[in-house]
Structure 1
Amino acid sequence: MSKQEYYSEDQKEENVDKEFQLNEEAEVQNSVIEAVRLVVPITDDPSLVAVTFRFWIISFFFSVIGAVIQQYYFYRSTAGSFSIFFVNLASYAMGRFLARVLPTSSFSIAGFSMSLNPGPFNIKEHALIGIAASTAANSAYAIDILSATDLFLNHRIGVLGSLLLIITTQSVGYGMAGVLRKYLVYPAEMVWWSNLVQVVFYNAMHNTDEFANQKMIRGWSYMKYFWVFCGGMFIWEFVPQWLAPMLVYFDWLCWINPFNKNFWAIFSSISGGGVFSLSFDWTSIGGSTMYLPLAAQLCNYGGMVLNYWILLPIMWMTNSLGTKTMGSPLTSRLFYSNGTSFDINTVLNSDFSLNESLYNSGEPAYMSPLYAVGFLTSFIALAGCVSHIICFHGSDLWRNWKSAVGGANDDVHTRMMQVYPEVPQLWYAVFYIIMAALSIVVCEVYDLQLPWWGLLVALALGWFLTLPICAMTAITGFGPGLNVITELVCGYMLPGKPIANMVFKCYGYMAMYQCNTLLSDLKLGHYMKIPPRSMFVGQFWGTMVGACFNYLTMILIIDSQREILNGDKQDPTGLWTGQRVQTFWGSGLIYGALGPARMFALDDRYGFVYLGFLIGFVIPVALWGLSKKFPTIQWSKFNVAIIAGGMGAFPNGYVVGVFPSLITVFVFQYYVFRYHKNWWKKYVFILSAALDTGAAFTGLVIFLFLGGGLSPKLSVTIPSWWANYYTPEGDNAPFYAVDRCGAAHNAWTGGA
């Protein structure tokens, strides 16, 4: 008997008996969350094994592809991603193929026996492959550090140091996930909304339970319906992603007066606020607009409208705090008071720390006012998240904390998972200690300016704020990050050290972010009834593979696109951008080299940012008080943390897709959900998966076969035409960018 099954034959028989008992009870004791009741089956087969030989082969293949594609999109202007649904489809085909051709012989490694072919490709094996691949398919946050030092300081850390930095920052969240799973995974209220789409997709592919019999429009099966819409989106996405990039940034209002600087700043989605801008690229909209809670989405997009459609035009037109002086309203660069660029390299020492005498002898640096507003909204979001969770969900969390798991009121899916052995807390604790120790080694050996005690402070900060942030994400689908608060703390602790600030932020932020990601995957495993120990193996495997190929892809792209990514050259197609790295580096300079005491002095122009903590804390308390006074009104749906998060949604890219996303939200989450609820129940999750998958397939094909991903010889450039405008010189002149908005070479005709 294989050790990886984790239980004996007697235990399996006992587990099956428990399964049948649970299924009888669950008929009347299903989940209290309506969406979960609609899509998550209450059946299980404990005999299915998730970690198989096929799992190792297929998960490695898709983890590599996912890490490469996601890192590729990190340097692209559109917020595309490597769709997990692509993995689900392709891995299903590969799994079934291997189940037919592999021999049934077994082999042993270190006492573990494993069959090359344990039988039919099963749903748990399939889901674990997807979880491992999704863990790998991220652009590791440490890539920001490595990219920034490479592009702006011409300093490249060695291969071993880079890989250790990526792996440790990606892994510190495991220990926290192990502790918090009882409170952020097992309760029914912790939905983790994006997982519901995957549950529908996996069950539809494997024809489980009611999915085997339910028919769609025209008598189609779930999968035929999926393939029709997936294929349609796949074909369409070649238009905006390759043939006509201007359809990604359809800034139609800007065309009224394209060379007027005021129009450009307000209506351009590449350089300005993108007011009423359209986008015909599904990757700018995303399937989550079709199913995330309506109130949360309205708060999110309401914040975007407030900041980019209202506040930005007001500040630009009135030149508040010198907004026009900085050139572009949303730039993350630093300037002198007259608007000329501030070069931080002229005031840095050889170890990249600030030379205070040089800095103080010259003119101080300033940031664009709307970039400062981004810090204000970050503080509002963080304080608002903590305050909102305490006020509106604190009693539930406290009750879950006291009861933990094993009570009569446990969610049905939690009771069903009790047939599987848990991952001991010791596993998570040992793993966390090892990664923390390696983190100290990385910081000390590779001279990252962050002392060992500073690293421990970063990890402690992540522990303290992870619970409220992950709770809000699980409940609403939205949650703030720790990137800004970590910058602030380190800026006061270690002023004048930009690299230390970036590293501190990476470890503090990633402790929370990775914990968030792992908890979400644990919830998917919870819904799919994957044994917890198999989940531990799958997540760790994906993290290791992803780290290695993130790094390799970063090196290849930086070496080939350096001038565009560091801002020395404009990309005529508008598809490559170093904006995310520039923003990360700009924050490092503001909080690290210059320090918050200089940039955000209370008596200076940006001192207002600290009001964000007060605003974020007070508003949820006031709403909670109103909920006691007027209990018939759902005051908790007005979430200041999500609103503030929307206001700061685009510091790392372009303001693309706000208007079409709002339209999609109202169509599906208001009109269809309210007036055609049966249609919504039946179609929305599988339709969301189909559209996201089709768009992801297109991005993959373009990257590999048309964009030179496999070989530069395969790169195909679309000739210049109306929707892909550029001159023989390689720029968009007379326009600033591909959206045909703004004057190239500063040749403005008005509004300057």
Structure 2
Amino acid sequence: MGGEYKDKLNQLGTVSVLEINELAPDQSLSNTEKKNALVSIEEAYHHEPDVIVDRIKESGDMDDILAEDADFIVGKVYTIDVATSLEVLQEAIEDFGTDINFPEKTLQRLKLLVQGEDIYGQGPVLYDLDLRLEAAMLKFHSPYPEVRSVCSPVDDPTIPVETFRAYVIGLFWVIVGSFVNQMMGFRQPYFTLSAQVIQLLSVPCGQLAARILPDVSLFGIKLNPGPWTFKEQVFVTILTNVGAHGAMFVYYAPTMRLKLFLGQEWMGYGFTVIMGLGCEFFGMGLAGVLRRWAVYPVKSVWPTILPTLQLNRTLLLPEKKKNIHGWTISTYKFFNILLAGSFLYFFIPDYLFTALSTFNWPTWIAPKNRDLAYVMGSRIGMGFNPINTFDWSIVNYSTPLVLPFYTIANRYLGSFIGAIVILIMIYTNYKYTAYIPPNTADVYDRFGKVYNVSRVLQNGKFDADLYKQYSPPYMSAGNIVYQSASYVLVTFAFVYVILSEWKIFKEASQGFIKSLKNRQLSNYERYTDPVSVLMRQYPEVPDWWFLIVLGLSFVIACISMAAFPTTTPVWVIVVTYVITIALLVPFIVLYSSTGYFLSFGALGMILGGYMAPGNGLACLFTRIFGVGADWQSETYVGDQKLAHYAKLPPRAVFRAQMLATLFQILSSAGSLEFLVRGLPNFCSYTQESRFVCTFAHTLYGDSVIYGFVGPHRTFDNLYPTLKYCFLIGALIAVPCFYARKYFNKQLRFVHPVLILGGFMTFGSTYNLSYYTPGLYASFVFMYYIRRRYLAWWAKYNYIMTSALTAGVAFSGILIFLGLQYKPKKLVWWGNEVSTAGVDGKMVATYRTAPEGGYFGLPEGSWS
């Protein structure tokens, strides 16, 4: 019987199951005969399993499954019965019905399947097959295609992970990566030794170690356990991920330390390290607490880490050759070709023809036209330019081939609206914004000059009399929009995310309380998804380990404030940490599902201003410890999710993160010393190698407004509407939640948190020019290709973004060291045209100061 139906199945070819109405070629079977055929096919599976295996593989319904895992999933199809399958599908509809990351097409298919064979309309054979296949995918794998394309549903616990050679290689790249990335993080546009680049560099290191290290044991540790493994590579990746970005606390140091800003020259290497220990290990401790909200739940997809996992697989694991839409090239070869091309091409926009990077071509038509520069400009303006760059470092600014398309689109919508609002503010001279460049983080005095904070300070403290004689601080239109959106977003996101993800919050909170009562209770026992079930074989990291780290780092943070002349009361740091913990839970849930990072930043400055009036330094420390804690904890949690996907022992990951954090702090602080002592004009807008420290300028402006002048004066006299933004955010979150709940079909892909986040594009030198090219790329690869050519997307998309990014990083570092550190200028039209006009000078205002020489509030009306 099996052979007869094998012939009929072979006639189906590769036609999708959704397009087949009958099993028999002549379409003449009755319902009874169809049911008998189903039984026969099940028998055929047992006698000739390749029949069903080939049928499912060729159907196109498993294009996003790793080739080596296809047999595993197919084997599960006929181990799950119909009743169980219906239960799995119904539960999935309830859990993922409003989840934007869950494919809409799959959701509709599940709804048809649970309504029965007649509604599904494909006949009993295909109905049964599709029902079981969808249930098997959900029960034994991930519900998300992007996760299935990089994560395996099986595990081998005998593979070496935490080896001596992995620690040596990983810590070496932690030092190199953190030093280079901290340095390059002060540059605009910045480029880094990303996680993908360091992965690429560490693979040959691991393979070389496997060849040359002796097969001996030292103090019971085996130096060479055999070939370099996939799990060792992921372990090294987690080590280096700690150093694959700059340390947040170091980015604040120039604002406090340099004479260009606050001039606290006593802040040397030692203080920076101690402050880092308090910031980063506090984030590490918080990460352990946050696991229940952002690691174990299936909805925590973490789109930002998937390319990292995919690249590791490409570099280490064998690949089965397969023809995908005519493409047979291996991912490894594909990666190398794009890497080489990106490396060579980046010399053009970054050095040879820089106008291709800042392609503000509309302003070339009339370089002195201020209105044209405001609207179309890429530097001073809003960036309403449809073609504004040929530079991957700018296209990739919003990581368009990693984040979901709805994330990019929603944020772009917010940015687009924000740009229009800014232009309206300038042309109507709202709050004197016509007298200030449109999109700058610097604050200005009433004479149109950058605010000189030293003129309102007496012995380092704010002096009201000097302030009254000098000037209030005035913000640009872009900065006002940025500040307003920041305040609305903090309260809006807190309320909205808690309402929309209440089930996750409830279950995670219950689990945390139970774990404190019972130390032997494993978190994995509370979750039934395939990865958590596999992770039960590894000893878990107890919560009290993380709580000890949390407590010790808190003590160090307090000591750093008390033992140095920071002028910051210790109780200010205590309040900051309490509020950070409260906000971080919903923020981490948002980040884990959308890839959108939301931090404590803006709120920290305001809290510091209220808690330590007139003390700009205290405001900065408040923000440092708040942002440092949430930024680091989100990084650590993301790496824990990466380890979760790769099935690494949790305690090995804990040890790796602790050790890598210490090395990163020492290296990042050293990088800052190198720049401060060795780079002329560091952080000046005129710095020849573009080390302009955009973020430091933003911080300086905020410290003036909320620190020295203070939130009372800012909110009451200058910008009274800002203080209502917190209330507005909390109030509008509730109707927005219910609107999406009851009109989910119409508003499924509208995410108000992301739209509000788009308004925060402005306030410095960034604008639509940094997001428009990313929108194009995201539409093509994360929407069109992902929907039409899923198999191609699953195999090549993440590899492509990794290769292009790696090529830019290698090329950028070579250009900097060889041609820009000690500038070798290439002077010609193509390198000068983008900065020659109004847009390039970045200082033009819509209006000049009126008669009398100043603008703003009447003289003497502020105090």
Confirm or deny a common fold (TM above 0.5): yes
- The reply on whether 1:565 has 2:683 as its aligned counterpart is yes
- The reply on whether 1:281 has 2:391 as its aligned counterpart is yes
Match for residue 433 of structure 1?
A: 551
Q: CA deviation at 1:552?
A: 1.8
Match for residue 6 of structure 2?
A: none
Q: Which amino acid aligns with 1:294?
A: F
Match for residue 663 of structure 2?
A: 545
* Cα distance in structure 1, aligned partners of 2:539 and 2:781: 40
1:590-638 Cα distance to aligned partner (Å, 9 max, x none): 111111111122xx34121233223322333223322444343344x32
Match for residue 723 of structure 1?
A: 830
Q: CA deviation at 1:642?
A: 1.4
Match for residue 360 of structure 2?
A: 251
Match for residue 641 of structure 1?
A: 753
- The reply on whether 1:678 has 2:791 as its aligned counterpart is yes
1:48-75 Cα distance to aligned partner (Å, 9 max, x none): 2322221222112211221122122222
- 1:335 is paired with a residue of what secondary structure? coil
Q: Which amino acid aligns with 1:313?
A: L
Q: Which amino acid aligns with 2:576?
A: A
Match for residue 709 of structure 2?
A: 594
- The reply on whether 1:140 has 2:251 as its aligned counterpart is no
Match for residue 227 of structure 1?
A: 336
8 A Cα contact 2:278 2:555, kept in partner? no
- The reply on whether 1:31 has 2:142 as its aligned counterpart is yes
- 1:334 is paired with a residue of what secondary structure? coil
Report the CA distance shift for 1:129/1:339 in structure 2 as closer, same or farther (over 3 A): same
* Cα distance in structure 2, aligned partners of 1:389 and 1:341: 39
Bigger shift: 214-223 or 278-287?
Answer: 214-223
Alignment of 1:385-404 (within 5 A): 385-402=493-510
Q: CA deviation at 1:129?
A: 1.2
Match for residue 472 of structure 2?
A: 364
Match of 1:122 among 229, 234, 240: 229
Instruction: State the superposition RMSD in angstroms.
Output: 2.6
8 A Cα contact 2:675 2:682, kept in partner? no
1:433-457 Cα distance to aligned partner (Å, 9 max, x none): 1111111110011121221111111
* Cα distance in structure 1, aligned partners of 2:670 and 2:793: 42
Match for residue 426 of structure 2?
A: 316
1:194-250 Cα distance to aligned partner (Å, 9 max, x none): 111122111122225xx4444666532210111111211111111112222222210
Q: Which amino acid aligns with 2:400?
A: T
- 1:691 is paired with a residue of what secondary structure? helix
Match for residue 520 of structure 2?
A: none
Match for residue 452 of structure 1?
A: 570
1:561-606 Cα distance to aligned partner (Å, 9 max, x none): 4535245xx2467x331322111121112111111111122xx341
1:340-363 Cα distance to aligned partner (Å, 9 max, x none): 33210122233x221233223443
Q: Which amino acid aligns with 2:644?
A: H
* Cα distance in structure 1, aligned partners of 2:502 and 2:730: 15
* Cα distance in structure 2, aligned partners of 1:145 and 1:583: 10
Match for residue 819 of structure 2?
A: 706
- Normalised to the residue count of structure 2, the TM-score between the two structures is 0.77
Report the CA distance shift for 1:289/1:140 in structure 2 as closer, same or farther (over 3 A): same
* Cα distance in structure 1, aligned partners of 2:187 and 2:176: 17
8 A Cα contact 1:185 1:519, kept in partner? yes
Match of 1:738 among 827, 835, 860: 835
Match for residue 41 of structure 2?
A: none
Match for residue 612 of structure 1?
A: 725
* Cα distance in structure 1, aligned partners of 2:447 and 2:838: 25
8 A Cα contact 2:164 2:222, kept in partner? yes
Higher relative contact order (CA 8 A, sep 6+): 1
Report the CA distance shift for 1:391/1:342 in structure 2 as closer, same or farther (over 3 A): same
Q: Which amino acid aligns with 1:632?
A: K
1:298-346 Cα distance to aligned partner (Å, 9 max, x none): 11111222223x12222223322221212x1122222223423321012
Q: Which amino acid aligns with 1:143?
A: V
* Cα distance in structure 2, aligned partners of 1:195 and 1:523: 8
8 A Cα contact 1:259 1:749, kept in partner? no
8 A Cα contact 1:325 1:338, kept in partner? no
Match for residue 51 of structure 1?
A: 162
- 1:48 is paired with a residue of what secondary structure? coil
8 A Cα contact 1:487 1:502, kept in partner? yes
- 2:218 is paired with a residue of what secondary structure? strand
* Cα distance in structure 1, aligned partners of 2:816 and 2:232: 29
Match for residue 305 of structure 1?
A: 416
Q: CA deviation at 1:401?
A: 3.6
Instruction: Show structure 1 runs of 4+ deviating over 6 A.
Output: 20-27, 745-752
Report the CA distance shift for 1:83/1:126 in structure 2 as closer, same or farther (over 3 A): same
8 A Cα contact 2:680 2:687, kept in partner? no
8 A Cα contact 1:616 1:641, kept in partner? no
- 1:495 is paired with a residue of what secondary structure? coil
Alignment of 1:425-504 (within 5 A): 425-504=543-622
* Cα distance in structure 2, aligned partners of 1:320 and 1:749: 12
- Normalised to the residue count of structure 1, the TM-score between the two structures is 0.88
8 A Cα contact 1:334 1:586, kept in partner? yes
Q: Which amino acid aligns with 1:380?
A: V
Alignment of 1:565-584 (within 5 A): 565-567=683-685, 570-571=686-687, 575-584=690-699
Report the CA distance shift for 1:664/1:34 in structure 2 as closer, same or farther (over 3 A): same
Report the CA distance shift for 1:701/1:611 in structure 2 as closer, same or farther (over 3 A): same
* Cα distance in structure 1, aligned partners of 2:830 and 2:846: 23
* Cα distance in structure 1, aligned partners of 2:484 and 2:406: 23
Q: Which amino acid aligns with 1:220?
A: I
Q: Which amino acid aligns with 2:301?
A: V
* Cα distance in structure 1, aligned partners of 2:141 and 2:505: 21
Alignment of 1:68-217 (within 5 A): 68-108=179-219, 113-151=220-258, 152-156=261-265, 157-207=267-317, 211-214=319-322
* Cα distance in structure 1, aligned partners of 2:458 and 2:149: 61
Match for residue 131 of structure 2?
A: none
* Cα distance in structure 1, aligned partners of 2:435 and 2:450: 11
Structure 2: any 5+ residue segments left out of the alignment? 1-71, 80-135, 513-522, 850-863
8 A Cα contact 1:389 1:468, kept in partner? yes
8 A Cα contact 2:275 2:557, kept in partner? yes
8 A Cα contact 2:524 2:535, kept in partner? no
Q: Which has the larger radius of gyration?
A: 2
* Cα distance in structure 2, aligned partners of 1:669 and 1:747: 38
Report the CA distance shift for 1:415/1:155 in structure 2 as closer, same or farther (over 3 A): same
- 1:285 is paired with a residue of what secondary structure? helix
Bigger shift: 222-231 or 144-153?
Answer: 144-153
* Cα distance in structure 2, aligned partners of 1:674 and 1:344: 54
Report the CA distance shift for 1:408/1:518 in structure 2 as closer, same or farther (over 3 A): closer
Report the CA distance shift for 1:534/1:314 in structure 2 as closer, same or farther (over 3 A): same
- 2:221 is paired with a residue of what secondary structure? strand
Report the CA distance shift for 1:560/1:408 in structure 2 as closer, same or farther (over 3 A): closer
- 2:669 is paired with a residue of what secondary structure? helix
Q: CA deviation at 1:395?
A: 2.5
* Cα distance in structure 2, aligned partners of 1:200 and 1:607: 49
* Cα distance in structure 2, aligned partners of 1:502 and 1:746: 26
- The reply on whether 1:692 has 2:810 as its aligned counterpart is no
Report the CA distance shift for 1:30/1:21 in structure 2 as closer, same or farther (over 3 A): closer
Q: Which amino acid aligns with 1:697?
A: F
Q: CA deviation at 1:95?
A: 0.4
8 A Cα contact 1:240 1:280, kept in partner? yes
- Using the aligned pairs only, state the percent identity: 27
Report the CA distance shift for 1:651/1:748 in structure 2 as closer, same or farther (over 3 A): closer
Match of 2:700 among 561, 585, 601: 585
- 1:419 is paired with a residue of what secondary structure? coil
Bigger shift: 604-613 or 290-299?
Answer: 604-613
